[in-house]
Amino acid sequence: MIRIGNHKKFTITTLGCKVNQYESEQIAKGLVGAGFKYLDTTLPLEDGLADLCIVNTCTVTHKASMQSRQAVRQAVRKHPDAVIIVTGCYAQTEPDAIRKIDGVHHIIPHKDKNRIPSLATSLLISKTAPQNDGHSHDLENTPIPLNAPWVAGANKTRPFLKIQDGCNAFCSYCIVPHARGSSTSAALKDVVEQLKLFKKGGYHEVVLTGIHLGRYGRDLSPPTTLFDLLKQIRSQPCMDRLRLSSIEPLELTRGIIQLVAESQGGAGEICRHFHIPLQSGDNAILNKMNRPYRRETFKELVLGINSVLPDAGIGCDVLIGFPGETDEAFENTFQLIRELPLTYLHVFPFSSREGTPASRFPGKVPQPVVKERCSLARELGQSKKTAFLSGQAGRSGTVLVENRRDRRTSRLKGVTSNYITVLMDGGDDLMNTFQEVRLIGLHDDQTMIGSLT
């Protein structure tokens, strides 16, 4: 790799999921290693123009695609002399749309993301760049490069580790399998080694993430599973605390739930926090979505978690306004969520994605109806969260204190195992440490006040 002198500056804008965030950190680490200086435009003292701007895009919804285009245009406007590189899922599926944006120099497909640092150095030297470097169908099942990422400004306390990529599910509304390709996993021993590197680097919690996390290991030879990986990590242990990102209902097994329960306390803890996509609580809609479970399955899973881990944080995604969603179908979803011990919701309106079966389905729901249903679902989700947080008052929990204070209150901020954000008083020496905290009460509808015990 050619090294660039004089500390050329770069920015990186990331849209979308935790996997994208991890991949941006990988790119940033490579650029810093190549001699670039990271320009953190979120900090007031980091004003200035960049020599290189990278936009890591998302296309999971129509809005995400629009925001990706806006981010590219904003980079071109704010840094008119910079080399502009666009990558990510929107760049993978719709390179022609990006090509139409004046000022874009390079469009990089997923399989070449890791080449961006070396590509960027040559671009800055030559000041020439082709307009398109990949095709929407140019996907390969390449091994996941595992390398503990550089974390911008060392501000992230709970970094992500991508252990799986791609998706084989092909839900009828989802464009992601077309953007990411089929499921690919990192080798088990490599995941363990990367966690050791994180721990050596001073991190105490890592979030394991993937596009279809529950399918981890099935493509390896010999095949393995997420449960096997978690057992291996627990046996080391190579990280103080692990958190799982989103995991599908049929892939969150009893074995994993029991392992989480057994791990509480001490090194190698797996957080009492589960994020499980529901999407719909109506069986007919689930069938049209090509979701391989029924509402009864989801209900049994959530109640099972609650019986073993009664204070677990349990969140879910719900997709509102899918074609054919009648009033009765929405009510089935609403009532299922209301009766279950869920602690928060992520609510999304249906977004038709060209190239997916659902884009051709009849029975489109009028936008005013979708908006009203989303509002009702979000109100229900907030009431669930408020009730959960209020019920935790008076209890104690272990908080990993973050490396940045809360911007609104200047208090220390941290997160419990069961995904409660806590504000507390204390000195900077407590940052990036575990602290036992007594939960006093609500600060607002999203956070709690705690006191050190």
Predicted confidence (pLDDT) per residue in 294-350, tens digit: 999 999 999 999 999 999 999 999 999 999 999 999 999 999 999 999 999 999 999
Q: Is the pLDDT reported for residue 141 higher than 60?
A: no
Length of the chain: 453
* Six-digit token string for 322: 């899918």
Q: Is the pLDDT reported for residue 100 higher than 60?
A: yes
pLDDT at position 331, please? 98
Report, as an integer, the average pLDDT of 225-245.
94
Is residue 293 within 8 Å of residue 322, measured between CB atoms? Answer: no
pLDDT at position 6, please? 56
pLDDT at position 94, please? 92
Confidence of residue 62 (pLDDT cuts 50, 70, 90): confident
The type of residue at 101 is I
pLDDT at position 1, please? 37
What is the β-pairing status of strands 434-442 and 396-401? antiparallel
Q: Is the pLDDT reported for residue 110 higher than 90?
A: no
What is the β-pairing status of strands 52-57 and 83-88? parallel
pLDDT digits (tens, 9 = 90+) for 151-176: 554 567 898 999 999 999 999 999 99
Write b or e for each residue in 259-271: b if 16 or more Cβ atoms lie within 10 A of its Cβ, otherwise e: bbeebeeeebbbb
Q: Is the pLDDT reported for residue 45 higher than 60?
A: no
Please name each of the domains of the chain with its CATH number: 9-126 (3.40.50.12160), 144-271 (3.30.750.210), 396-452 (2.40.50)
One DSSP character per residue, 322-386 reads -TT--HHHHHHHHHHHHHS---EEEEEE----TTSGGGG-S-PPPHHHHHHHHHHHHHHHHHHHH
What spatial distance separates the first Cα and last Cα of the chain, rounded to whole Å? 51
Cα 358 to Cα 288: distance, rounded to the nearest angstrom: 8
Confidence of residue 267 (pLDDT cuts 50, 70, 90): confident
* Six-digit token string for 305: 């978690």
pLDDT at position 142, please? 46
Sheet with strand 344-349: strands edge to edge: 273-275, 313-320, 344-349
Q: Is the pLDDT reported for residue 242 higher than 60?
A: yes
pLDDT at position 155, please? 60
Is residue 185 within 8 Å of residue 164, measured between CB atoms? Answer: yes
Confidence of residue 39 (pLDDT cuts 50, 70, 90): confident
Cα 165 to Cα 393: distance, rounded to the nearest angstrom: 38
Cα 241 to Cα 232: distance, rounded to the nearest angstrom: 14
**CA nearest to 419, candidates 246, 278, 277:** 246
What is the β-pairing status of strands 412-416 and 396-401? antiparallel
Angle between helices 254-262 and 295-308 (to 10 degrees): 20
Confidence of residue 382 (pLDDT cuts 50, 70, 90): very high
